[in-house]
């Protein structure tokens, strides 16, 4: 049996690896982006000089031939699902089963000038090359879009002392995801790094020079900002344009059931391009997240090899970095607190660390954690959420979650004191919360 996989990101590569572990089928991994799989989240570190491209490849180049996974650098233009043929620039390829792991594409909203030279995103390796090409003589960059990719691009330019204007249409950075206090913290942090942050400001137009290159932007406030590069980072969408007029069922993404099967026999979809027909409670239909892509890749391999299992990403978690501030979120943590929920929020006096715990008003059960500049153990947070642990018990044992190195400052007592001041309680941390206590606690996790 020949299994073709379109896309060599984390989803497609994980599927290929687990297919090989479980079978002797012929596997072809197709991508037009790069010869080999690399860590897409490390693109910024290549630009900043922290890593080389070869350092971002998790596997040596010989890994693929050694494991009999054929790599084909090509571009799929059309798929004949009935005949099971991929029409590619370099020739056709017949398959028996097909995995679509085609990822995401940057959003563009029809801005005049959006296709000029010196305009680009930060998703593909080619995007990085585009940034590099314009960086040597770059006097000023404008970034459009207040999400994670936008702040990464801002940090990249900042590392080379290139002035940046950051256009964010929302009234506060990423306030559709972050609660108000955390969003305000990141606003301050961006400004502290010398980034020209423009909140409640949108892109209206990109102006060209006589060479067809970006030379300035016009905002919705009719302000002209001179620049030589415009970063478009206003989110992404499933990369499925070439599939929309086919027999494959698509909406925003490629529709899949719990086994990652599409409506067509022998065709599967995983990663950023997959849209769950019936997402699990607390999960979104499309989740363009690294770890979900990896889990989908492993799940689809089991299903193709006859060991049928449903895709289950478990409880929600994510992590990121805003310049120097690390961010972690576990469980239910909406930007706007639901009426039946209560929140406990503690912020350090330096304004760069915070701990937020959401819990149900009626049941007192903990439902989510939001962390800035402080690290908690995911296993501990997951256990508390799954077992519907009461807020008082969590606070009394909060040291079990702490994942910061041994000699880092500890803030559990401050969080408990904040809760006591808010509620009039007199909770205290339980003593002797050492590493062995954490190990015993995690052993009980099932």
Whole-number pLDDT of residue 119? 97
Domain contains 395: yes
Same domain, 229 and 244: no
138 is a domain residue = yes
> What pLDDT was estimated at residue 16?
98
Confirm whether 310 is domain-assigned: no
Q: What is the pLDDT of residue 434?
A: 47
SS3 205: strand
Helix (H) or strand (E) holding 155: helix 148-159
Quick check: is 143 in a domain? yes
Q: How far apart are CA 247 and CA 267, in angstroms?
A: 11
Q: Are 320 and 148 in contact (CB under 8 A)?
A: yes
pTM (predicted TM-score):
0.91
Neighbours of 196 (CB within 10 A): 16
Q: Is 299 helix (H, G, I), strand (E, B) or coil?
A: helix
Same domain for 296 and 337?
no
What pLDDT was estimated at residue 445?
A: 57
Q: What CATH number is given to the structural domain containing 419?
A: 3.30.390.30
d(CA 99, CA 299): 12
Question: In the 8-state DSSP scheme, what is residue 429?
Answer: P
Q: Which residues contact 53 (CB under 8 A, 6 or more apart)?
A: 38, 46, 125
Give the Cα-Cα-Cα angle 340, 425, 329 (nearest 5 degrees): 50
197 and 252 both lie in a single domain? no
Q: Which of 200, 216, 197 lies closest to 208 in space, CA to CA?
A: 216
Q: Kindly state the helix (H) or strand (E) to which residue 291 belongs, with its residue range.
A: helix 290-304
Does 321 fall in a domain? yes
Q: How many domains does the chain have?
A: 3
Q: How far apart are CA 63 and CA 301, in angstroms?
A: 19
Q: Quick one: pLDDT at residue 407? A: 79
Domain assignment present for 110: no
Q: Check whether residue 229 and residue 289 sit in a common domain.
A: no
Residue 257 lies in a domain: yes
User: Two tokens at 113?
Assistant: 């000038």
- For residue 43, the enclosing domain spans 2-105+238-304
Residues 6+ apart with CB under 8 A from 46: 52, 53, 56, 128
Residues 326 and 439 in one domain: yes
Q: Write down which residue in 252, 279, 304 finishes a domain.
A: 304
CATH number at residue 170: 3.50.50.60
Residues contacting 22, CB < 8 A, separation 6+: 301, 302, 305, 307
**Do 325 and 386 fall into the same domain?**
yes
Question: Rg of the chain over CA atoms, in angstroms?
Answer: 24
Structure tokens at 353: 């660390």
| 321 and 438 together in one domain | yes
- The owner of tokens 């009935």 is 82
Angle at 121 between CA 115 and CA 127, to 5 degrees: 95
Give the model's pLDDT for residue 437: 54
Same domain flag for 92 and 124: no
As given in the structure block, the two tokens for residue 214 are 């970006």
- The predicted structure's pLDDT at residue 367: 96
Secondary structure string (H, E, C) spanning 33-59: CCCCCCCHHHHHHHHCCCCCHHHHCCC
End residue of a domain, out of 213, 234, 255: 234
* Same domain assignment for residues 257 and 339: no
Which pLDDT tens digits describe the chain residue by residue (446 residues)?
Answer: 999 999 999 999 999 999 999 999 999 999 999 999 999 999 999 999 999 999 999 999 999 999 999 999 999 999 999 999 999 999 999 999 999 999 999 999 999 999 999 999 999 999 999 999 999 999 999 999 989 999 999 999 999 999 999 999 999 999 999 999 999 999 999 999 999 999 999 999 999 999 999 999 999 999 999 999 999 999 999 999 999 899 999 999 999 999 999 999 999 999 999 999 999 888 899 999 999 999 999 999 999 999 999 999 988 999 999 999 999 999 989 999 999 999 999 999 999 999 999 999 999 999 999 999 999 999 999 999 999 999 999 999 999 999 887 778 889 999 999 999 999 999 999 875 544 555 555 566 55
DSSP per-residue string spanning 96-146 = SEEEE---EEE-----TTTTSBTEE-SSSHHHHHHHHHHSTT---EEEE--
Same domain, 377 and 396: yes
Structure tokens at 42: 């490390």
């Amino acid at each position: 049996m020949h299994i073709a996989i379109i896309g060599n990101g984390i989803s497609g590569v994980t599927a290929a690896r687990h297919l090989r572990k479980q079978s002797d089928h012929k596997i072809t991994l197709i991508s037009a982006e790069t010869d080999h799989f690399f860590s897409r989240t490390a693109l910024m570190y290549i630009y900043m000089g922290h890593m080389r491209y070869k350092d971002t490849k998790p596997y040596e180049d010989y890994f693929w031939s050694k494991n009999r996974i054929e790599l084909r650098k090509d571009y799929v233009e059309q798929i004949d699902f009935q005949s099971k043929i991929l029409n590619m620039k370099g020739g056709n390829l017949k398959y028996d089963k097909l995995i679509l792991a085609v990822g995401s594409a940057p959003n563009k909203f029809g801005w005049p000038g959006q296709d000029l030279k010196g305009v680009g995103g930060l998703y593909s390796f080619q995007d990085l090359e585009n940034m590099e090409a314009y960086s040597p003589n770059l006097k000023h960059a404008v970034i459009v879009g207040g999400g994670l990719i936008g702040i990464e691009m801002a940090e990249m330019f900042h590392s080379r002392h290139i002035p940046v204007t950051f256009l964010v249409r929302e009234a506060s950075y990423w306030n559709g995801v972050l609660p108000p206090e955390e969003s305000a913290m990141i606003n301050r942090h961006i400004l502290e790094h010398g980034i020209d942050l423009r909140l409640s400001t949108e892109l209206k137009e990109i102006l060209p020079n006589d060479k067809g290159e970006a030379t300035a932007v016009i905002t919705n406030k009719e302000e002209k900002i001179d620049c030589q590069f415009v970063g478009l980072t206003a989110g992404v969408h499933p990369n499925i344009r070439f599939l929309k007029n086919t027999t494959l069922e698509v909406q925003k993404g490629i529709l899949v059931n719990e086994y990652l099967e599409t409506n067509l026999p022998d065709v599967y979809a995983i990663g950023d391009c997959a849209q769950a027909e019936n997402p699990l409670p607390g999960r979104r239909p499309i989740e363009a997240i690294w770890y979900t892509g990896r889990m989908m890749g492993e799940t689809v391999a089991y299903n193709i090899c006859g060991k049928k299992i449903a895709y289950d990403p478990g409880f929600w978690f994510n992590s990121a970095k805003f310049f120097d501030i690390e961010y972690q979120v576990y469980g239910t943590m909406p930007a706007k607190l639901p009426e039946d929920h209560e929140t406990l929020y503690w912020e350090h006096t330096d304004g760069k660390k915070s701990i937020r715990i959401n819990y149900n008003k009626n049941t007192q059960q903990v439902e989510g954690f939001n962390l800035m500049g402080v690290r908690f153990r995911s296993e501990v947070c997951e256990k508390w959420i799954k077992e519907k642990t009461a807020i008082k018990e969590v606070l009394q044992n909060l040291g079990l979650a702490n994942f910061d190195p041994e000699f880092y400052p500890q803030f559990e007592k401050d969080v408990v004191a904040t809760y006591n001041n808010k509620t009039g309680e007199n909770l205290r941390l339980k003593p002797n919360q050492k590493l062995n206590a954490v190990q015993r606690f995690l052993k009980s996790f099932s």
